[in-house]
């Protein structure tokens, strides 16, 4: 089956005010399959957000190609179609909310797609139900918590019926409770709705339950594997300035002290079971 996202040998540069080129993507290639939950990690400047913006044609490669469901992002005639397939949620929810009532905000995307009124009503109700925000349909967004605002932003994307949702550090400005709300929503969309998820984050714990973790450094992909494979590479991750989940850190330190711990625990439950064994 053809991957829903294909990236082949992509290079992209930013041009500074002084006219100097800075390489943001340096020969990136990867495939993402329909229904996958992929987390991309890397420190600031690694290229992860730049790559994400290529997935819905906000940016286009200097060389190389990106295909979204078989559509090349360089084809300007396909930009609108690509953005219907691949919706994007950004870091700051306040920058994504455009209306004074929650349900009107969720309706904004479908209205721009010229969806009939009755269908918009249905989509708005379903999207709010999906993110558990039905009770706030007639609320003003500025009265909501950060996590609730981000869930409304996600509902606005869902109402456009995308097959892919790209989330560029959507929990970066949220407290732990808000982060939990958003992550629960993202996982539910992936598992229950079959939506392909590309999640950019700097919180390592958010990568534990992904299907795949991609690690970027200096515009290149340096690691690509399951969470267990990636987080077993503690020294490699630390050498490029990344943390590891707390359970992985604890396991590493205990082993240094001579404790024998089976496997590579990622969650607290797995760590407890490993210690009990």
CB 58, CB 88: distance < 8 Å:
yes
User: What is the pLDDT, as a whole number, of residue 85?
Assistant: 94
What would the pLDDT profile of 128-160 be if each residue is shown by its tens digit?
Answer: 998 889 999 999 998 999 999 999 999 999 999
Please tell me the distance from the alpha carbon of residue 242 to that of residue 248, in angstroms, as a whole number: 13
Question: Distances in Å between the alpha carbon of 126 and those of 84, 155, 156?
Answer: 18, 9, 11
User: Of residues 232 and 266, which shows the higher confidence score?
Assistant: 232
Mean pLDDT of 70-94: 93
Tell me, what's the pLDDT at 48?
Answer: 93
pLDDT of residue 74 exceeding 90? yes
CA torsion sign for 98, 101, 105, 110 is negative
Give the number of other CB atoms < 10 A from CB of residue 1: 5
Q: Which residues contact 239 (CB under 8 A, 6 or more apart)?
A: none
């Amino acid at each position: 089956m053809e991957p829903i996202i294909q990236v082949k040998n992509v290079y992209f540069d930013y041009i500074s005010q002084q006219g100097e080129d800075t390489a943001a993507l340096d020969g990136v290639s990867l495939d993402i399959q329909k229904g996958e939950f992929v987390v991309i990690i890397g420190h600031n400047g690694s290229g992860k957000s730049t790559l994400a913006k290529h997935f819905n044609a906000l940016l286009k490669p200097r060389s190389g190609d990106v295909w979204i469901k078989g559509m090349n992002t360089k084809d300007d005639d396909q930009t609108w179609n690509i953005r219907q397939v691949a919706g994007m949620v950004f870091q700051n929810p306040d920058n994504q909310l455009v209306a004074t009532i929650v349900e009107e905000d969720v309706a904004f995307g479908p209205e721009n797609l010229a969806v009939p009124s009755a269908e918009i009503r249905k989509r708005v109700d379903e999207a709010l139900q999906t993110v558990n925000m039905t009770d706030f349909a007639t609320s003003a967004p500025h009265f909501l918590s950060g996590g609730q605002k981000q869930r409304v932003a996600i509902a606005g994307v869902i109402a456009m019926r995308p097959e892919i949702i790209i989330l560029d550090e959507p929990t970066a400005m949220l407290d732990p409770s808000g982060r939990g709300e958003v992550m629960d929503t993202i996982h539910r969309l992936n598992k229950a709705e079959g939506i392909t998820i590309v999640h950019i984050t700097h919180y390592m714990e958010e990568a534990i339950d992904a299907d795949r973790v991609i690690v970027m450094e200096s515009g290149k992909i340096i690691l690509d594997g399951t969470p267990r494979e990636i987080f077993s590479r503690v020294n490699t991750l630390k050498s490029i300035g990344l943390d590891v989940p707390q359970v992985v850190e604890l396991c590493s330190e205990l082993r240094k002290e001579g404790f024998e711990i089976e496997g590579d625990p990622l969650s607290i439950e797995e760590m407890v079971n490993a210690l009990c064994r």
